Amino acid sequence: MILLAAALAGGAVGGAGVTALARSGDGVRAYLLDHPEVIPEAMERLQAREGERAVRAAGGAITTPFAGAWGGNPRGDVTLVEYYDYNCGLCRANLKAVDELVRTDPNIRVVYRELPVLAPSSRDAARASLAAARAGSTKWNAFHRALYAGGPVSDASIAAAARTAGTALSPPDQAMEAEIANNLRTAGAIGITGTPSFVVGDRVLVGVRSLEQLREAVAQVRAK
């Protein structure tokens, strides 16, 4: 494990340094005792690489929206995926940055994925959101913003958001339940531990991101 950590931290140690360290277990131990900061850096790099591989393996399970649960340019050159929970205050706070990204970037597509993990009412809201998505992207986007603007999630706030958006509430069906289960499974596989979380290209970003940070992540994908 220590040798692996040193090797993975090649950027910090340097390629020649890793080669030399790999020749001697004592040398590895001595180096890490003198430079313990290498270990967490190495583990972070390993986790990032594993996350990238998992994102690539998941493919369309991440980037293909459920019906109309998307925004921006449907043929955009970069897709930003957001995993969110309607009971998540940080997701509500991050809404402005995501909306501004869509407003100012004509080539971004945003796919929204339900991740109802915070409360039983989160799943009720997710089902209502998926029902709204079947009415198309315009009505889904209206529902999405109305529910966040309506305060704490409840049966009343869900119904009010549906009225505002002009969408109908419908009983949960197999497709809705499969979508939620798929999101929960895929999120776990790619290392998402909470909401909001984002996927841009093969990168996973967990937690609130500013408009500038989202733009930077998108720019990095375009630069490849």
DSSP 87: T
Q: What is the pLDDT of residue 10?
A: 43
For all residues of the chain together, what is the average pLDDT?
87
Q: In the chain, where are the structural domains located?
A: 2-58, 61-223
Edge-to-edge strand ranges of the sheet holding 197-200: 70-72, 108-114, 78-84, 197-200, 203-206
140-196 confidence digits (pLDDT tens): 999 999 999 999 999 999 999 999 999 999 999 999 999 999 999 999 999 998 999
CA-to-CA distance for 51 and 180, rounded, in angstroms?
A: 21
2-25 confidence digits (pLDDT tens): 333 434 344 444 455 545 545 556
201: left (phi > 0), else alpha (psi -120 to 50), else beta? Answer: left
The whole-model pTM stands at 0.80
> Which helix or strand (DSSP H or E) is residue 204 part of?
strand 203-206
Fold of 61-223: Glutaredoxin (3.40.30)
> Which helix or strand (DSSP H or E) is residue 99 part of?
helix 89-104
Q: What is the pLDDT of residue 19?
A: 53
Nearest partner of 206 among 223, 215, 222, 193, judged by Cα:
193
Residue 133's identity, in one-letter code, is A
Structure tokens at 151: 């305060």
39-51 confidence digits (pLDDT tens): 666 555 555 666 6
Q: What angle do CA 10, 11, 14 make, to 5 degrees?
A: 65
CA-to-CA distance for 129 and 147, rounded, in angstroms?
A: 9
